[in-house]
Structure 1
Amino acid sequence: MTAVRAGHEQKVRWGVVATGGIAARFTEDVQALPDAEVVAVASRSEAPAKEFAGRFGIPRAYGAWADLFADDEVDVVYVATPHSAHRAAAGAALAAGKPVLCEKAFTINAREAEELVALAGERGLFLMEAMWMYCNPVIRRMVRLVRDGAIGDIRTVQADFGLQGPFAPEHRLRNPDLGGGAILDLGVYPVSFAQLLLGEPDRVQADALLSPEGVDLNTGMLLGWDSGATALLSCSVTGATPTTATVTGTEGRIEVASAFFNPDRLVLRREGEEPVEYTAAGEASELAGMQHEAAEVMRCLRAGETDSPLIPQAGTLAVMRTLDRVREQVGVRFPVDA
C-alpha cells in the first residue's frame, strides 16, 4: 500500500468490494469528498463490476476480489458484501496489506470478528466497522450530553428498526447461508445504539418469530446492566416501525428522531424546563450520510491510527457478542456457527 500522507494534499484512494445498493450509496458519498476518490471496484464476476464502474466513472473494474487487493493504487478497501462474506473479504484484504472499512453487521458471529481484529493487529493495519451512526454529528452530540450529565444516570434505552415485509423466501433476508433475518441486518443498530451509551450488557433476554428457513422475522430484546439500566430493543422484517430511539435518565430524556441511526435532530427534555432541540445544521458539519465515516477512516489513516476512537474494535466485538447471545436465545444458527 502507498502510504497516506498527513494533510489533504493527496487524495485517499478507495477500492469498493461489491456492487449492491449500500456500495452505490457509499461510492456516491465518497466521490463528493474533495480529498477522496474511488479508483477501483470488484465483484465476484466481471460484468457487474464493469457496470458499476461505468455508472460511477470508476477507472478500474475487477471480476475477482484478489485483483483489487493486489492493486497498488488502492489505499483502503470498503467491504459492502452481504455480512456472510465479510470475514472472507475483509480477511483477504488485510492479508494483502490493505486497511479495511467493513459494513455492519461486522461479521456473522463474534468468533469471525475476533479473527479479523487479530489479523489486523498482526499486520498493523487499520480496521473499522462501518457503523455510520457512531459518526453522525447528532449522535455524537447525544453522547456528549449524556456524558455531561444532561439527563442524569441512564435508566432506560428504547430503539426499534423494522422494514415493511413480507420478503419472499428466496430474498437474502430469508437465506440462512447469507446470514439472513432481522437480527444481523437491522438489530445491530439498536444494539449498537444502546451499547454506545452503556457498554456490553450483563444480561440478555430475547424472543423472536422465526421463518420456515430458521431466520428471525421479528425479534424483541431486553438488555440489562448491573447499574440498573435496561434497554428495550426490537427489529423486524415484517413491518415498518417508527425507527426512533429514546434515552431516559434520572433527570431527563433525549428523543432521537427517525431514522435514529442517521438522525438530523434530537430533543432534550428536562422536568420544569423548555425542550431543547439540537440539529445536524447546528453541529457545524458540511458532511452528510456516509461521508462522516469515510472522513473518520481517512483521518485515522493520515494520523497512522489503526483503531478509530469513534468506532473502536473493542466496541464492535462487544456488539457481536451480544448479537450472538440474542441469536442463541431465539434459536437462530447459521452454517458458519458450527
Structure 2
Amino acid sequence: MSQKLSWGIIGTGGIARAFAKGLANSKTGQLIAIGSRSQESAESFGESWQVPRRYGSYEQLLADNEVQAVYISTPHPEHAEWAIKAAEAGKHILCEKPLSLNAYYGMAIVEAAQRNNVFLMEAFMYRCHPQIARLVELVQAGAIGEVRVIEASFAFQAGFNPESRLFSNELGGGGILDVGCYCTSLARLVAGAATGKPFAEPTKVRATGYVGKSNVDEYTTASLSFPGNIVAQLLTGVSVNADNTVCIYGSEGSIFLPNPWVPSGETKIIVRHKGVAQAEEIIIPDAGDLYGLEADTVARYLAEKQSPTMSWEDTLGNLRTLDQWRSAIGVSYVAEDPHGPTSKLPLHKRPLAARSGHHMKYGQIAGVEKPVSRLVMGADNQVTWPHASVMFDDFFEQGGNCIDSAYIYGDGICEKNIGYWVKNRGIREQVVILDKGAHTPHCDPDSINRQLLISLDRLQMDYIDIYMLHRDNVEIPVGEFITVLNEHKNAGRIRAFGASNWSIERVQEANAWAAERGLTGFGAMSNNFSLARMVDPVWSGCIAASDPQSRAWLKETQMPIMPWSSQARGFFTGRARPDDHSDPELVRCWYSDDNFQRLERVNQLARERGVLPISIALAYVLNQPFPTFPLIGPRQLSETRTSLPGLDIELTPDEVRWLNLELDTL
C-alpha cells in the first residue's frame, strides 16, 4: 500500500485498547478515530492513544469519510448491528470474535459485506501469527503421520460477577463464545490441514457442561468428530483454569503448542516423533505485536475482501459448530428469542422496510386486496427464530411480501416463526400469507376446520390471505371442499383459497360446481411448475403443471399458479451433471435426457446474458403468458440474492419455447 490504512475503532473496552496498541506497531495502519457511546469515554480513549477524531456515537464515526476500516469491539450481541451498518457505510471491517451470536446472524453480516463490496474478517488474531502457518505446514507434511486426536483448551477463572459480560446472558456471556471459539477454530483448521482442505467441518458435536444461574456456560467440554476418523476434545470456561494449550496426536508422534492463543516474543512448537526420545523444538522468531499482525493481515487482503487467514466460510462454519456446542448443553441467548427485548427490530436495529430501488415485481390474485410479490418465500426450513428472522427480514427488504408455509411444516414451528416475525415487526397488513392445510392422510373437510384454526393460532392472525389445500382426496366430492372453504371465507378467516397438487380436471370440476351455486371457487393453484420436467414426484401425491396441456389451460383461464420447486430443487445451479449421481433425490426426480438438453440451453443463454443459469431458469417461470408467483426456498441469504436477478430477465415467447425444446418440434 502506498499509504497507511486509516482505522476507526468502535467501542472503548480493553480489547479496543489492545488493538489500538497493536495498530500503533503495525506496518500498514493508523488509528484516526474512536467511537464511543459517550463523548467522555471517547475523549478519554483519545487522550490515551493520541486519536485525533473522537466521536460520542458510533454513527458519527461511520459517517467520517476519512475512516477506511473499522475495528468492532462491542459486546457480542452488538456485532451484527454495527458490522452491517459499517458495511453499508462502505467501511472495511475487522470484527472481534465471535463474528456474531450464531451462524445465522453471522450470515447476515457476511451478506452485508458481500453486497457492499467491503473487506470483512473475524478477529482471530492468533490465526495471523506465523506459528499457525508453521503448524499447518507440519500437519500437511505428515510430520506426525496421520492426525488422530486434537486436544485444545482455553479457559480461565474469572470469579462470578453477574454484572460482568462474561456471566451475562443478555451480553452473550459464557466460555463457548468468549474463548471456546478459539478451540473450535483451531480443531477445524488442523482437521482440514490433515485432510487436504483449508478447514474441516465436524460430522458430529457432543458436549457436556455446567450452565450457571445466569444461564451461560461456565465450563464445558466438547467432543468433535471429523472426516478422516479425526476426533477433537475441547475444554473452555470462564470459571475454571486450564493449561490453555494445544496438542495434536498422530500415528507417528505429536505436536504441542505451549502458547497457541496469545503468542508473544519468541515462541516454539514441540514435535515428538515415535521412537525418538528427544523432542524437536521448532522456534518461531518474534513476529511483533499480535494485533499489529492482525491489522497488517487486513491490509494485505483488502482487495480480495476476505482473508484465507479466516475466510467467510471458515467463520460461518465455526459459528455453526459453536451453535451445536451450545445446543448440546442447553445454552441460548435472549437475543435469539422471539420474545426477547431485541426481537422487535431486524439486526441493524432499524424499522423493517423495503429498500429503495429494489427490483421486486408484483401481481394480483382475486380476493387478495394487496399486491402480491412475484417471488414467494417458502418457509419450510426456518425452524429457529434466528434463521427465520434473518431470511424473512432480508426478503421483505428486497420487496418480497408473500410468505408460504403449511400446517405440517416443522410440526408447526414454521408457522409460529412467521407469526412471531409478523407480530414483532408490526407488518400484518403489508404481507401476504400463503398457508396450506389438509395434507394426506388428513385431507377432508373436518381436518380443514381443525387445522385452519390451529394455523391461525400459531400465526397469531385473524385471517390467512391465501389458503391452499395441500393435497387432494378424490374420494371426497369437490362440493364438500368448496363448501367448507366458502364458510371460512365468509367468516373472514381466509381471503382467497386454492389447491396445491390437484389435477386440472379436479380444479375445473370444483370451480364449475362453485359457479353453478354462486360460490367462490379456487382462485389459484400451487402445483409444481419449472423448466425442468419432474421425472418422478418429489413427494408422494405431488402433481406438476409443466406439460403442454396444463400450460395451455393456464393460459386460457389465466389461473394464477404459485409453483413449488420452481427452480427444480437446484437442477440448474451446477449440481446436476449426467455423470454425477451423488444426490440420489436430484437424480430420481430430475435426471433425464430432455432435462439435460434444457440445462445446456439454460447455460448457453446465461452466458449470452451474463447471468447465472438459475436466473434463466427462474425467468422461464416468470415469463409465462399467465400469472406466475414462483415459490423459492432459500436456506441462505446468498440463495435469495442469486434468485432475485431472474425478475429482471425478459424472455421472448420464442426464447421460452426454445428453452423448453418446443421450437425443435415445429
**Given the superposition, is the C-alpha separation of residues 17 and 268 from structure 1 closer, same or farther in structure 2, using an over 3 Å criterion?**
same
Q: SS state of the match for residue 241, structure 1?
A: coil
Distance in 2 between residues matched to 1:167 and 1:23, nearest whole Å: 23
2:283 maps to 1:279? yes
Q: Secondary structure at the match of 2:170?
A: helix
| Contact 2:211–2:219 (CA under 8 A) maintained in structure 1 | yes
Per the alignment, residue 36 of structure 2 pairs with: 43
Contact 1:162 1:237 in 2 (8 A): yes
Note the C-alpha offset of 1:108.
0.5
In the other structure, the counterpart of 1:81 is: 74
SS at match of 1:231: strand
Q: 1:279 Cα shift?
A: 2.2
State whether residues 30 and 290 of structure 1, in contact with CA within 8 Å, keep that contact through their aligned partners in structure 2: yes
Q: Is the 8 A contact 1:154 1:247 kept in 2?
A: yes
Contact 2:218 2:238 in 1 (8 A): yes
Say whether residues 1:270 and 2:263 are aligned partners. no
Amino acid at match of 1:326: W
SS of equivalent residue, structure 1 residue 287: coil
- Going from structure 1 to structure 2, the CA distance change for 1:191 and 1:34 (only over 3 Å counts) comes to closer
**Cα distance, 1:236–1:320 mapped onto 2, change above 3 Å:** same
AA in 1 matched with 2:293: H
TM-score by length of 1: 0.93
| 1:310 counterpart residue number | 309
- Where does structure 2 lack aligned partners over 5 or more consecutive residues? 192-199, 338-666
Deviates more, 1:223-232 or 1:286-295: 286-295
C-alpha contact (below 8 Å) 2:155/2:236 kept by paired residues: yes
Picking from 158, 176, 188, the partner of 1:183 is 176
Compare the two structures and name the one with the higher strand fraction. 1
Cα distance in 1 for residues equivalent to 2:331 and 2:27: 43
Give the equivalent residue in structure 1 for 2:583.
none
Structure 1, residues 224-280: CA drift from partner, whole Å, max 9, x if none?
12321110001011122110110111121100013x213321111111334221222
Aligned length: 325
What amino acid is the match of 2:174? G
Q: Does the CA-based 8 Å contact 2:42-2:55 persist in structure 1?
A: yes
> Counterpart in 1 of 2:328?
329
> How far does residue 286 in structure 1 lie from its aligned partner after superposition?
4.1
Residues in 2 aligned to 1:267 and 1:212: alpha-carbon distance in whole angstroms: 40
Larger Rg: 2
Q: How far is 1:34 from its partner?
A: 4.0
Amino acid at match of 2:46: A
CA contact (8 A) 2:39 2:56 kept: yes
Which digits, 9 at most, give the CA deviation of each residue in 1:75-108, with x for residues without a partner?
A: 1010011111110111110011111000001110
Does 1:148 pair with 2:133? no
2:199 equivalent to 1:206: no
Equivalent residue number for residue 18 of structure 1: 11
Which one of 160, 166, 175 corresponds to residue 153 of structure 2? 160
The separation in 2 between residues aligned to 1:196 and 1:180, in whole angstroms, is 25
Cα distance, 1:55 vs. partner?
0.6
Structure 2 distance, partners of 1:155, 1:34, is 39
Distance in 1 (CA, whole Å) between partners of 2:37 and 2:84 is 16
Between stretches 88-97 and 272-281, larger displacement belongs to: 272-281
SS at match of 1:314: helix
Match of 2:218?
A: 217
Amino acid at match of 1:322: T
Report the aligned-residue RMSD: 1.2
The answer as to whether partners of 1:257 and 1:265 remain within 8 angstroms in 2 is: yes
Hey, what's the Cα distance between the residues in 1 that align with 2:27 and 2:201? 37
* Aligned equivalent of 2:235: 234
Off by >3 Å, runs of 4+ in structure 1: none
Q: What displacement does 1:127 show?
A: 0.4
- Does the alignment pair 1:53 with 2:41? no
Q: Distance in 1 between matches of 2:94 and 2:26?
A: 17
Report if aligned partners of 2:12, 2:45 keep a CA contact under 8 Å in 1: yes
The one-letter amino acid of 1:246's match is C
Q: Does 1:195 pair with 2:188?
A: yes
C-alpha distance 221-286 of structure 1, shift in aligned 2 (>3 A): closer
Q: Distance in 1 between matches of 2:99 and 2:245?
A: 22
Q: Give the secondary-structure state (helix, strand or coil) at the position aligned to 2:301.
A: helix
Alignment match, 1:247:
248
